[in-house]
Amino acid sequence: MEKIKIAIQKSGRLFDDSLQILRECGLKIDASNGKLKSDVPNFPLEVLFLRNSDIPQYVEDGVVDIGIVGENLLIEENSKLKTLLKLNFSKCKVSLAAPKNSKIKSLKYFEGKKIATSYPNTVSNYLKENKVKAEIHTISGSVEIAPTLGLADAIVDIVSSGNTLFMNGLKEIEVILKSEAVLVKGKHLSTAKKEILEKLVFRMKAVLTAKNSKYILLNSPNDAIEKISKILPGMKSPTVLPLAEEGWSSIHSVISEEQFWENIDALKEAGAQGILIVPIEKMVI
């Protein structure tokens, strides 16, 4: 039976979340220490654990069919791979940062300055777009220390929480791009592999939709049902069930977490009581 091959990072910030989403899709994956390949016994899939920087090329060359990688790497390598899904994890920024005491009023400050980075192509394109000429120093790892050592006047690097910048006496000047993990695919997949991929993507979408959604239950006076239902449209319409107490009903619906916090005051004003939010494990639309 034909199977598809997927590449994920063998270690680092993408590894755990990549493995988790695949397992949440019901896939049994052995990721023992040092293992470079794992056959999935309950789905026609083979998982390869590779260096993050190698994944786009492996997919491009057809060594693997699909891969999970950060958008920032695709942009840096000017990759033409097709993105199938944004995976909503490993979110970060690629930012320009400089020493805290820098008095920077505009990007022109960096004219003629030295910028250290692990993303030379991204920085070069960014500087060209903003018509700034600066000297780029390519460094692989420990970029934040470059200004302290006098190697550069500023850096461009991945920023998640900002703690690393703070600890090294740096401040974020500007966000160059935002990134998250994505699922990419190669160009040449057989019909059989495309069908397998469709099934995998279907599962992943169900997991992602569930993560972004919550099941909401609340009690409502019967005369407020219509008003509350307009706030909670649900997948089609809310489920309304009568309570033992006369004149009251229980309303069940699905809502995105963002929508809930936006609408909580409106729900309370409409008469909703006993609001309960429950996580959803999978959701098929």
Going residue by residue through the chain (285 aa), what tens digit of pLDDT does each one get? Answer: 799 999 999 988 899 999 999 999 999 998 887 778 999 999 999 999 999 989 999 999 999 999 999 999 999 999 999 999 999 999 999 999 999 988 888 899 999 999 999 999 999 999 999 999 999 999 987 899 999 888 999 999 998 877 888 888 999 999 999 999 999 999 889 999 999 999 999 999 999 988 888 889 999 999 999 999 888 865 677 889 999 999 999 999 888 877 777 788 889 999 999 999 888 887 777
Q: Would residue 16 count as lying in a domain?
A: yes
Residue 219's domain is classified under what CATH number? 3.30.70.120
DSSP label at residue 23? H
Please indicate, yes or no, whether residues 49 and 61 belong to a single structural domain of this protein: yes
Q: How far is CA 181 from the centre of its chain?
A: 5
What's the structural domain count of the chain?
3
Same domain flag for 102 and 174: yes
**The pLDDT value given to residue 39:** 92
**Cα separation of 247 and 242, whole Å?**
8
Sheet strand arrangement including 181-185? 37-40, 45-50, 4-9, 66-70, 181-185, 82-86
Q: Are residues 85 and 191 in the same domain?
A: yes
- Residue 82 phi/psi, 5-degree rounding, is -85, 130
Give me the pLDDT at residue 257, please.
76
Per-residue pLDDT, 234: 58
User: Looking at residue 284, what is its pLDDT?
Assistant: 77
- Calpha distance 156→146 (Å, rounded): 11
Distances in Å between the Cα of 70 and the Cα atoms of 11, 15, 45 are: 13, 11, 21
Q: What is the CATH number of the domain that holds 13?
A: 3.40.190.10
Please tell me the predicted confidence (pLDDT) of residue 49.
95
| In a domain? residue 284 | no
- Domain co-membership, 206 together with 148: no
**Does one domain contain both 156 and 205?**
no
What are the b/e assignments for 100-138, b being 16+ CB within 10 Å? eebeeeebebbeeebbbbbbbebbebbbeeeebebebbe
Q: What letters, b where the CB count within 10 A reaches 16 and e where it falls short, cover 79-95?
A: bebeebbebebbebbbb
Answer yes or no: is 285 within a domain: no
**pLDDT at residue 128 in the model:** 95
DSSP β-ladder status, 4-9 and 213-221: unpaired
Give residue 220's domain range: 213-279
pTM as predicted: 0.82
The count of other CB atoms within 10 Å of the CB of residue 277 is: 13
